[in-house]
Amino acid sequence: MTAALRSVCVFCGSERGDLDAYAAAARELGALLAARGIVVVYGGGNIGLMNEVADAALEQAGQVVGVIPSALVDRELAHGKLSELRVVASMHERKALMADLSDAFIAMPGGLGTLEEMFEVVAWAQLRFHDKPCGLLNVAGYYDSLLAFLDHAVASRFLRQSHRDLLIADVDAASLIERLSSALPARDA
């Protein structure tokens, strides 16, 4: 029996991107997580896709926990209506706390910060620092080139297939949530 998915950390852009599909997918993901009673853990901002995920979850009466470094509270405009906002001292603390609070991870479209956060948790899984599933919501083909590069890294023997498989990619939010749920390791009650 697998454990229940109680919380998901969402990594995504502090920008909305150039396609309306990105914001629509962020809202869909937030609403789906809330509807399933899954706590959303994210970077705590009220801008870009981060805001879309949080607001959609809150509109469905979902629980949303933001984690933001004090230096970014004003720059990222910390969301003022979250279930909980945790202000930490550094980016390192932010990522560690987000990981501790989450049963799984989903990366949506975003920039360098999103990529860095996603790759760090996948690398932690590769090193067996955690056994939490890592997902990539590939909205409008945003991550097609990245996924092809990872396959190239496998073919070039810089990445093992088993490590490549740690990143579960899907184009559909509901399907990705199901796949992450089924990838959770069994735990004692």
Q: For residue 87, give the CATH number of its domain.
A: 3.40.50.450
CA 69/CA 178 separation, integer angstroms: 31
CA 7/CA 81 separation, integer angstroms: 19
Any domain includes 144: yes
Any domain includes 2: no
The total domain count for the chain is: 1
Any domain includes 189: no
- Tell whether the model's pLDDT for residue 149 goes beyond 80: yes
- Tell whether the model's pLDDT for residue 189 goes beyond 60: no
Return the percentage of the chain with pLDDT > 70, whole number.
96
Q: What is the pLDDT of residues 77-92, one digit of tens each?
A: 899 999 999 999 999 9
Q: What is the pLDDT of residues 113-127, one digit of tens each?
A: 999 999 999 999 999
Whether 68 and 86 have beta carbons less than 8 Å apart is answered as yes
Any domain includes 55: yes
CA 41/CA 121 separation, integer angstroms: 14
For residues 176-185, average pLDDT: 93
pTM: 0.95
Q: What pLDDT does residue 74 have?
A: 73
- Ordered alpha helix ranges (H), 8-127: 20-35, 48-59, 91-100, 112-126
Any domain includes 1: no
Any domain includes 188: no
Q: How confident is the model at residue 184 (pLDDT cuts 50, 70, 90)?
A: confident
In terms of residue numbers, what domain contains 56? 7-183
Type of residue numbered 104: A
